[in-house]
Amino acid sequence: MGNIFSRQQSESTLGKRKADSHEEENDSKRARYQPKEPDAGITAYVNDSLPGFHGIIKYRIEDFVVHEVDLNGNVVTLKSLEPTIINEKKRKIAEKTDVLDETAFDAEVAKLFNEEFATQLRKVLREGSEDKSLSASIETSKDSRFQFYHLLDRHVLNDDRPLALCKDGVLTIRWAINEEEKARDVPPNYKALGGEYLQFNVFKLGIESSKAINLIGKYANLKTSRIGTAGTKDARAVTVQTMTSPKARVQQLILAEDKLKQHNIYIGDYDYVPNGLTLGDLKGNRFTIILRDVSGATEDQIIESMESLRERGFINYFGMQRFGTGTIMTHEVGRAILKLDFEEACDLILKPRPGERNDFAEAREFWQNTKDPKAAVQKFPGRGPEKALLSAYIKSPENHKRAIQSLPRNMLSMYMHAYQSYVWNHVVSERVKRFGCDKPLVGDLVLKPAAENKSTTDPSTLSNNAGRRNQFERKQPKVLTEEDLEFYTIEDVVYPVPGHRSQYPENEIGKIYQELLEKDGIKFTRAENIMKDLGGDYRSLLAKANDLTFSLIRYNDPETSLCNTDIDRINSKPEPQNIEDGKYLGLQMNFTLKTSQYATMALREVLRDDTSSSNQKKLVHST
């Protein structure tokens, strides 16, 4: 059944479910009105015979650990906070370098520039680390500077070297007066080290990806727009992923280390690589999840549920994260936008809703009563969609379409994608209800490789070396005939995320799509500018929890840590140990999902419980 884990006292309170009484009251109030799974079209299961059991998801942040899986299938972990990989590369380069001693180096510098500069430079190299006032300067050309840098690399083989600064063609050699200045040294030989992109692994705890990127950019002096990632990760989780930044220096990130740690961000495993990351450059994610206070089923039934999940998988629903936490769900706004009823969409975003924070509730009520955008925009806190709409109304009163178009593109896409996801969930639930999910139907869709593309473009030659996927590897849908059925299984079946390029099943399922879209008054068309990027996609009906392992954990203290993180392992923290006859039972699950698959939907298959945040926030340990 796997290893038996047990209790270890936690030294941190960061990830605890507990809150002060005021927060608990607000959470409880909001939870009464938050959406549930059926509101998002999530109603079916793969294996109806499973009994289900009780378990608390994300009682602590550390109970939900996500490791990215790269395009080569490697699980991204944080192994070291030091630049060990780059240092090893530098060591190997040094072993192969034709080293110049002092005499030879000085002669080459004199030949490149002149004797006077060579003499000044030798004094800086010998004495400048003690006397920071020493320097050597000379007017140079770009070519001569690069020749000099190459000579310096052959003479000084470690990182303890002076700065080489250039302004208006004048090259100045002096020692750095502090670590921050040292980080601005001559760039390394990117080609020799592996490429111009600095790659690093990022461990973060309880922080959104976008906020983490902003903090890394701020403290390491990097442009956030140039920090590449393969995907966004959960905020309420421990996550580990790879990031890249072109022509960045390791020292910049090392100097930011202490400030980033204050935000529970740790960076390491530095390397230089030829290609940066773009969204989608991953195979999936590896999850380690702790379910606490497990009850309501025998150990044999829990094992049966795990085996079913491993063998049969789960319905590949878009999870509740896609639909927001308010009583007005994101797909409802998306529906209004896509049927081009912009007034309704604006109203849904701005109107009062039960269970909301007092400041938002008061601002919404004020807008509802006054319809005064100038006054109302001052009352909404933060920089959310409400302020964007009201600001647009100030400039163009009653122009609802312009107000919607004023929303940030990613927010506008979020609303529309939520509706597409709702349609997919609804249709798939109907499919399972009417026909089960054990075999393909005539008229279902599968994906097959597209016709061979004549282009020989290599992914490494794409613009700016951004991205690691081969953009020419595409698949296209195939409609199954009676003769095809013996060659495909239910795991091959895909259903379309609706869009203006989507092909629909040629059976009863296709009619469900048609009826739902007609009922909602929506027709996807590229001609409508707001829909031009909604081409659609294809999504597998079923998902598999790959490489699933699990183990039971006995513990007494609800707040104890039940699994170690990468930082715990770097710090050599002992693994948790089992407590015989512990009061509570926990379940640790480890599995890998492909991109755009939701771990909460895998948990839902075995728990038979609503995985929405509103439901989970109500759960506490039994007494």
Quote the CA–CA distance of 136 and 280 in Å, as a whole number.
Answer: 48
Nearest CA among 591, 585, 567, 594 for reference residue 621? 585
Dist. CA 314–CA 42, nearest whole Å: 12
Cα dihedral 528→533→538→539 (10° resolution): -110
Cα(443)–Cα(510) distance, integer angstroms: 9
What Cα–Cα distance (Å) separates residue 201 from each residue in 70, 521, 571? Answer: 12, 46, 17
The answer to whether 444 is a known catalytic residue is no
Q: Kind of pairing, strands 5-6 and 546-555?
A: parallel
First to last CA, the chain: 28
Strands (DSSP E) contained in 416-500 are: 445-449, 475-479, 493-497
The DSSP secondary structure of 588-616, one letter per residue, reads EEEEEEETT--HHHHHHHHH-S--SHHHH
DSSP 577: -
CB 525 within 8 A of CB 551: no
Q: What are phi and psi of 113, to 5 degrees?
A: -120, -90
> In angstroms, what CA-CA distances link 70 with 277, 278, 313, 458, 459?
10, 12, 22, 19, 15
Residue at 620: amino acid letter = V
Residue 9, classified by CB atoms within 10 Å of its CB into exposed (0-12), middle (13-18) or buried (19+), is exposed
Those residues with Cβ within 8 angstroms of residue 246's Cβ, 6 or more apart along the chain or in another chain: 196, 197, 198, 226, 276, 464
Beta strand segments in 63-149, E: 64-69, 136-139
Active-site choice (63, 106, 153, 234): 234
190, 196 contact by CB (below 8 A): yes
Active site residues: 234
